[in-house]
Structure 1
Amino acid sequence: MNRTTAYATTAGLALPAPHPAPAREACAERPAPVVRDLRGRAGHSPHALLFGPQDLVAVTGLPGSGKSTLMRRTVRGTRIDSQDTRDRWDRRVPRLLPYAVYRPLVRLAHYAGLRRALRSGAGVVVHDCGTQTWVRRWLAHEARRRGGTLHLLLLDVEAEQALEGQRERGRGVSKYAFLRHRAATTRLLRAAERGDLPPGCAAAVLLDRAAADTLRRIGFTG
């Protein structure tokens, strides 16, 4: 795994896409995924992550780990966050109406917005809850279609920190749902540490809370 020690104190880190194999080699051995581990640097990590103009970036981690906060603070370009969609609906519906009633409409609106963003051809940063693997497959397909790369940004945050994050925002998930998210996130992190990324994901960046807090920009070149 590439720990990018050469970039430990740089202001920014450009993330080139892995070179795609020629068509005649499509069934041959594929290049190994690029995994950059920025954890454990006590804040001495890049201030910016830059991706290719056709790339897609999926930000994943536990509920409450800070995905939405990180995206709002750092993304320069198009970001698609289901939390933003829910917040818009929350402002429009009666206060007494339970979220469970209009949740399907929120999800439909979120995925419709994601589809529009992907069809634009521009780089997009997407909130990935971690349990909807079909969304990751969709993103991988769209990245290949546009000639870009799907990158994962994995937030490695302790469960207690994530639960505290839920309490601070006044919104959480059930214990059962949190355990599902925790199991899925742990599997994904351990696989990434081995250099084994989900199908269609060619690169990943691993962040702890300090590395996430140090970031000032997530953007696209070109």
Structure 2
Amino acid sequence: MNRTTAYATTTGLALPKQPAAGAREACAPLPSPVVRDLRDRAGRSPHALLFGPHDLVVITGLPGSGKSTLMRRAVRGRRIDSQDTRDRWDRGTPSWLPYAIYRPLVRLAHYAGLRRALRTGEGVVVHDCGTQAWVRAWLAREARRRGGTLHLLLLDVTPEQALAGQRARGRGVSRYAFLRHRHAAARLVHRAERGDLPRGCGAAILLDRAAANTLRRIGFTG
């Protein structure tokens, strides 16, 4: 894994483009993924992350890790956050109606919005809970089709920090769901630490809470 301090004092980090395989090169070995570890820098990490104009960026981490907060504060460009979709549905439904009743409709609306955003061909930042591997496979195919790269931004926070984040926002998940998310997030982080990213992911960035709080811009060049 590429874990250096070369970017510790920079204000921005431009991610190198991973070459996409053309039709005749589909069976050729893909380039090794690029992994940047911005953890354990006590806030001395980039203030900006810049990606290619056709890249796709997935922000993943535990519920309560700060994905939606980071997206609202830092993303410049198109962002698709399932939390935004849920908030819109929550405002339009009676308070007595349990979320579990209309959750399938919220998910359907979220993925429909994601599909519309992808069809623009522009760079998109996507919220992902980390437990739906088929979503990353879909985004990887789309990134290859448009000649871009799929990047993972992994928010690596402790379970205690995530639970505190859930309490702060006044919304949590069940113990079973949290354990499921915890196992999925741990697998992703460990794979990234080994440089073994999910198929189709060209690059990843590991962030702890301090690095996420330091970020002020996540955007696209061009």
**Residue 64 of structure 1: CA displacement?**
0.3
**Residue 101 of structure 1: CA displacement?**
1.0
Q: How does 1:87-126 map to 2 (within 5 A)?
A: 87-126=87-126
Partner residue, 1:176: 176
* Corresponding letter in the other structure for 1:61: G
Q: Which runs of 5+ in 1 are unaligned?
A: none
Moved more, 119-128 or 23-32: 23-32
Match of 1:28, SS state, is coil
**Residue 22 of structure 1: CA displacement?**
5.6
Partner residue, 2:57: 57
**Residue 6 of structure 1: CA displacement?**
1.4
CA distance in structure 2 between the partners assigned to 1:163 and 1:156 by the alignment: 13
Partner residue, 1:12: 12
Q: How does 1:1-222 map to 2 (within 5 A)?
A: 1-21=1-21, 23-222=23-222
Q: Which runs of 5+ in 2 are unaligned?
A: none
CA distance in structure 2 between the partners assigned to 1:104 and 1:55 by the alignment: 28
**Residue 16 of structure 1: CA displacement?**
1.7
**Residue 18 of structure 1: CA displacement?**
1.6
CA distance in structure 2 between the partners assigned to 1:19 and 1:110 by the alignment: 29
Are 2:192 and 2:204, in contact at CA under 8 Å, matched by a contact in 1?
Answer: yes
**What RMSD in Å do the two structures reach over aligned CA positions?**
1.0
CA distance in structure 2 between the partners assigned to 1:24 and 1:116 by the alignment: 29
Query: Identity of paired residues, percent?
Result: 82
Match of 2:6, SS state, is helix
* Corresponding letter in the other structure for 2:172: G
CA distance in structure 1 between the partners assigned to 2:19 and 2:143 by the alignment: 14
**Residue 21 of structure 1: CA displacement?**
4.7
CA distance in structure 1 between the partners assigned to 2:4 and 2:121 by the alignment: 29
TM-score computed with the length of structure 1 as normaliser: 0.97
**Residue 108 of structure 1: CA displacement?**
0.8
CA distance in structure 1 between the partners assigned to 2:20 and 2:137 by the alignment: 18
**Residue 28 of structure 1: CA displacement?**
3.1
**Residue 26 of structure 1: CA displacement?**
3.3
Moved more, 2-11 or 19-28: 19-28
Match of 1:154, SS state, is strand
Structure 1 residue runs of 4+, over 4 Å off? 21-25
CA distance in structure 2 between the partners assigned to 1:164 and 1:33 by the alignment: 33
TM-score computed with the length of structure 2 as normaliser: 0.97
CA distance in structure 1 between the partners assigned to 2:21 and 2:102 by the alignment: 45
